[in-house]
Amino acid sequence: MISRIPYLLRRLTPSIIMMLLILSAGPLRADEDGESAVDEPLVSARNEWRDMLRFGIDSEVIELLPTLTENREVLLEPEVLRVFARSINPRLRRAALRYFTDLELTGAIDAVVELLSDIQDIADDLVLDAILYLSTVETDDRDDVAVLFHELARSRRATVAGAAVRAIGKTGDERDVDVLLDLFDERTTPIAVRQSLVLALGELRTPRAVDRLISVLGRLDDDPTLRNYAADALGKIGDDRAVDALRVSLGSTDALHRAYAVNALGYFDSPEVPDMLEEALRDSFWRVRVAALDAAGRRKEADLLPAVIYRARRDPETRVRLDAITAIAGIATPDAWEFLRSQFVDERVAPDIRRAILHQLVEHNAVESLPTIREVVQKEWASERPTMLEYTTRVLSTAKLPEASDIFVRLLDHPNFVLRIYGVRGIALNGLEQYKDRISEISENETEHASVRRNAAAELERMR
């Protein structure tokens, strides 16, 4: 069969080549050097891929490249570079660039710099992908790349100029600020590029841009998106000169702009900010309330806990109530955790809220919250429709929480085979060796559900 594989592979999509070759190798076995016997079919697959890169039609190669990325196939980098350098098909060249970008491979830097040095006849999509590549990979020629970005930022093609500006914001430093400010000050700069300039100045956290950004906030007739981006940039810079301007933005008739302003204020240390956040929690637009909740949790504003709890209990929007749960966990005071536990155990609370609370408890307060979790497990144990029990134990089975061993062991005897699987997984994940024999018995018990046996056998291998 193996001798026919090269012929068969040409008739199959690249995404199943690896599976076919591994299966053809039979069971994995170690040779004397400790290498898996699967290496041979992997080499065969790589050879097939290499031939396809060299001789395949464009559509085949375009389909192959995501498979190479998924398998992190870096040994074929020279062949992919050859495809990029020689092909005249823009779709194929873009696919090759995505391979280099996603794997952060530096082999295409020279070819991409050459491409971007003269973009007159190059389609925007390919130029944008090339800029993204150079802004993603590490390069020793940072200064040369920066100069290239500076030139592209002045392109008459607004999409190209905007992409170059954003690349400067992503990779640049204070040395690039003058270029961005000069472009910002030019009246002929297109609005789309100005939007990118504001974002880039925020990414660079430069105080030198604060006065200009405040000026944008104050121009009520300016582009709304530009004003929103200016608020965002001021938040990232965090210069206290912007607090008063952002306070004014809280009174804007543009609800989305109010949300941007609240989010930005959350990054300032000014003593006035908590009061502004509390007022924003009462805003009629739900996105403003969400922004205030995110800021309250991020800042651990204990004084805002009562207001945040009110939003968790009473807000008319589910999204806001869910964000309030996250904010309460972020505040993380004893009172905050006590509230979350009381809500989790309360069957009258909406299931989606209880599920959100469970994730916060398990991720950030697991050991202290185990008594509450055990209480829910006990309440739900004999239920005909133990939905919350199933969800709770599934989440627990993915957590490193050996203190929950009693729950995992108890699950092994539950009538629901899915819950028995969660018990097996929790024991294995937490390395509870004292229950290894029990897992072994389950894997060999012919009266046990087949899925439970399979999971037990697989987890037993993990424990070895």
pLDDT the model gives residue 345? 97
Residue ranges covered by each domain of the chain: 1-27+36-140
What value does the mean pLDDT take over residues 320-336? 98
Give the rounded percent of residues in the chain with a pLDDT score beyond 90. Answer: 86
Contact 317, 287 (CB under 8 A): no
Strand partners, 30: 36
Amino acid, res. 178: D
pLDDT the model gives residue 7? 40
Give the CA count within 13 Å in the CB-facing half-sphere of 215.
8
* CA separation for the pair 375, 238 (Å, rounded): 45
pLDDT the model gives residue 24? 47
* CA separation for the pair 203, 177 (Å, rounded): 11
What value does the mean pLDDT take over residues 230-238? 98
| pLDDT higher than threshold 50 for residue 27 | no
* CA separation for the pair 266, 275 (Å, rounded): 11
What value does the mean pLDDT take over residues 46-75? 95
| pLDDT higher than threshold 80 for residue 28 | no
| pLDDT higher than threshold 60 for residue 29 | no
Top pLDDT among 142 and 392 is at 392
| pLDDT higher than threshold 70 for residue 56 | yes
pLDDT the model gives residue 22? 45
Mind listing the pLDDT tens digit for each residue in 381-415? 988 889 999 999 999 999 999 999 999 999 999 99
pLDDT the model gives residue 83? 97
Measured in degrees and rounded to the nearest 5, phi and psi for residue 137 equal -85, 155
| pLDDT higher than threshold 70 for residue 458 | yes
Contact 131, 98 (CB under 8 A): no
| pLDDT higher than threshold 80 for residue 5 | no
Mind listing the pLDDT tens digit for each residue in 156-172? 999 999 999 999 999 99
Segment (H or E) for 161: helix 158-171
* CA separation for the pair 153, 157 (Å, rounded): 9
pLDDT the model gives residue 30? 43
pLDDT the model gives residue 36? 46
| Average pLDDT of the chain, as a whole number | 92
Mind listing the pLDDT tens digit for each residue in 254-277? 999 999 999 999 999 999 999 999
pLDDT-based confidence at 8, cuts 50/70/90?
Answer: very low
Q: What number of helices (H) and strands (E) belong to the chain?
A: 28, 0
Mind listing the pLDDT tens digit for each residue in 204-216? 999 999 999 999 9
Contact 281, 315 (CB under 8 A): no
Amino acid, res. 450: A
Measured in degrees and rounded to the nearest 5, phi and psi for residue 36 equal -75, 145
